[in-house]
Amino acid sequence: MLQTSQILSENVKKYLQSQGFIADSSIESAGSAGSGRKYYRVFTPKKSLIVQVNPSANEDFRNYADMSRILRDAKVPVPTVYFRDDASAQLVIEDFGKRSLFDEVFPMEGSKRANASILYDMVLQVLIAMQIESASVFSSYPNLAARKFDYESLKWETDYFTENYLKKHCGLSEIPACVSEAFATLACNVDLHPKVLMHRDFQSQNILIAENSSIGFIDFQGLRRGSQYYDLASLLFDPYVMMPIDMVESFFKKWARDFPGNAGYSDEEIWISFLAAALQRLMQALGAYCFLSSTKGIESFRQYIEPGKKQLLKVLQLYREYSPSSKRDVNEFLCSHLE
């Protein structure tokens, strides 16, 4: 109940009461994130809002409110932040509902596969619209344009994978120099990709389906200027969903056709860049599943280690066709620790 809740700050309670929520309005959990961020739904029979509770008033907390405003100005469907309480690191935000893309399409078989075809097409069009707006947003918000997901950030991701998957999960004490060099080269290649607004965690659990079937994005505090392929790879090779490869290829071709930033590049060049971004993203995700389950003790992430391995192995096998022969030993090393 609102009045007796030990979760919400007094400032947040006062704001909610000013919006017509009464002392006995109901509160329920609305999810959590690996960072420790938690969400609560405050509701009556007629209306609801979400309260985001952060571990501290850190950069993610500040960015969520700032990025929400920027994205909404660019017509990207993200929740409005109505109230911000810095003292308690809590935000009151618009409620986009309980249904995520993950809820609607997993497991992706039978009628859910048919539903997925419709929903992913809608998500893809919204993603393309966001990417098209990138130049305008960067021009209007130079501080955001300066938040580049560049070589250093990309190399951090593969170092994270090396430490948490290869060393801690697989028990390797040393990593061959050729593997470390290949990861550095991958980071360089992905850093050279054309840059757009990049969500950075664009996967099925961060995409909501509202009651009117419109699309909404959440957890966008990591918004950056980065590879135009990264969010697409995150969406289509999402280990939470395990989209069949024929659907991955079909949606990739739709994006490649509809996104004007692909003009001047061959189909093969776009596909290779997409696979490179997928390697980058999946190594980060697999490292995260291991870190969050083993180091942070969040057991719910352990179930995604095997799907993460399968997705990374799939992309490595696809990428092998385009890898120079000098990189085959790296590919074989990684495949041997994923099979």
Residue 325 is predicted with a pLDDT of: 67
Residue 321 is predicted with a pLDDT of: 87
Q: Which residue has the tokens 């696979």?
A: 275
pLDDT in tens, the chain (339 residues): 676 678 999 999 999 999 999 888 999 999 888 778 999 999 999 999 999 999 999 999 999 999 999 999 999 999 999 999 999 999 999 999 999 999 999 999 888 899 999 999 999 999 999 999 999 999 999 999 999 999 999 999 999 999 999 999 999 999 999 999 999 999 999 999 999 999 999 999 999 998 777 899 999 999 999 999 999 999 999 999 999 999 999 999 999 999 999 999 999 999 999 999 999 999 999 999 999 999 999 999 999 999 999 999 999 999 988 877 667 889 999 999 999
In 3D space, the residue among 256, 206, 188 whose CA is nearest the CA of residue 100 turns out to be: 206
pLDDT in tens, 94-137: 999 999 999 999 999 888 899 999 999 999 999 999 999 999 99
In 3D space, the residue among 81, 88, 95, 80 whose CA is nearest the CA of residue 27 turns out to be: 95
Q: Which two tokens stand for residue 99?
A: 């249904």
Bin 166: left if φ > 0, else alpha if -120 < ψ < 50, else beta: alpha
In 3D space, the residue among 176, 165, 168 whose CA is nearest the CA of residue 239 turns out to be: 165
CA distance 40 to 28: 6
The yes or no reply on domain 10-93 and CATH 3.30.200.20 is: yes
Residue 254 is predicted with a pLDDT of: 98
Q: Where in the chain is the domain with CATH 3.90.1200.10?
A: 101-336
The yes or no reply on domain 101-336 and CATH 3.30.1300.10 is: no
Q: Write down the pTM of the prediction.
A: 0.95
Q: Which two tokens stand for residue 334?
A: 């990684």
Q: Where in the chain is the domain with CATH 3.30.200.20?
A: 10-93
Q: Which amino acid is at 17?
A: Q
